[in-house]
Structure 1
Amino acid sequence: MVKIVVVSEYSLNPPEDGQGRVKIASGPLYELTRVQKLAAAGGLNTWTDRCDKAVYDLFAGDLEAVAGLLGHLRPGDYRDSEWCTNGRNALAACDAYALRRVEWVASVDKEMGVEYFVKFAVGKAGQLVLLVSCHLS
């Protein structure tokens, strides 16, 4: 039997089968201003291979730019909370947010509305934001 490890600060009632995408009803799990401060101070890390690739594609791998994006989140941007897996026997309880904003889109040479979807958890030690997902919706 494979042992599943919970790596997030929030650890109540993880799914017994170790599978992710199980909703958590009591969210948001993490205080947004605290997450923003941790990310701005350099405490941000991509936690999945898919997220790492998305951050590279959207921001040339610049985690400071992602921290800046997180800094624009507001409580009203919150969507839901759920358990997520990194595919390597670890689970994290995550909050998901969607942020809509107007940006210059070079490929069409004009400003357009874009929506970012981000999902993150605070690590068990409380010093690191684990970025699970960051992509355009």
Structure 2
Amino acid sequence: MVNDKVVSRFTGTPTRENGGIIGKEPLYPPDEVLDLLDRRSIGAITLWTNDCQKDVQNLELDHDGVIKLIRNALRSGRFLNSQWCQQKPGGPWAACDAYTVTQAEWIEAAFKSLDIQYYVKFALNKSGKLLLVVSCHTSS
């Protein structure tokens, strides 16, 4: 059975063609996402995929850490593209914006601060009151 249910505010027909790329402009205005994060704080996000939950756990981030990373991505990161993402095989779809952002992180094993590049991908839900975080991990 094919599931093409879209849970994001941006709608359309989900596809995997062209890597699921929708476009080269953000679907969700950064100022709107930042405002949502400011108004609702940790109530503004949900880690929408199992992979995202695992990645955030591996990074040892709490919800505040994820919010900080998204804020940094929107303010000083680089927008990559917008793309279709599926929650799980046969599950619902979300039209997402993808960003990379580099942050200085203290690396205990190296005993110094190193620049670490992160990849974040998210969508606004239909009501625009919840940010669905699809990916949050370091870039390889």
TM-score by length of 2: 0.85
Greater share of helix: 2
Are the counterparts in 1 of residues 77 and 100 from structure 2 also a CA contact under 8 Å? no
- SS of 2:2's equivalent in the other structure is coil
- SS of 2:59's equivalent in the other structure is helix
Match runs of 1:57-76 below 5 Å: 57-60=58-61, 62-73=62-73, 74=75
Aligned to 1:10: 10
Which of 26, 33, 36 lines up with 2:34 in the alignment? 36
Aligned to 2:80: 79
Identity of aligned pairs, percent? 37
CA-based RMSD of the aligned residues comes to 1.8
- SS of 1:118's equivalent in the other structure is strand
CA distance, structure 1, for counterparts of residue 9 and residue 51 of structure 2 = 22
| Structure 2 alignment gaps of length 5 or more | none
Number of residue pairs the alignment of both structures matches: 133
- SS of 2:51's equivalent in the other structure is helix
Asked if residue 124 in structure 1 is aligned to residue 122 in structure 2, the reply is: no
The structural deviation recorded for 1:13 is 3.4
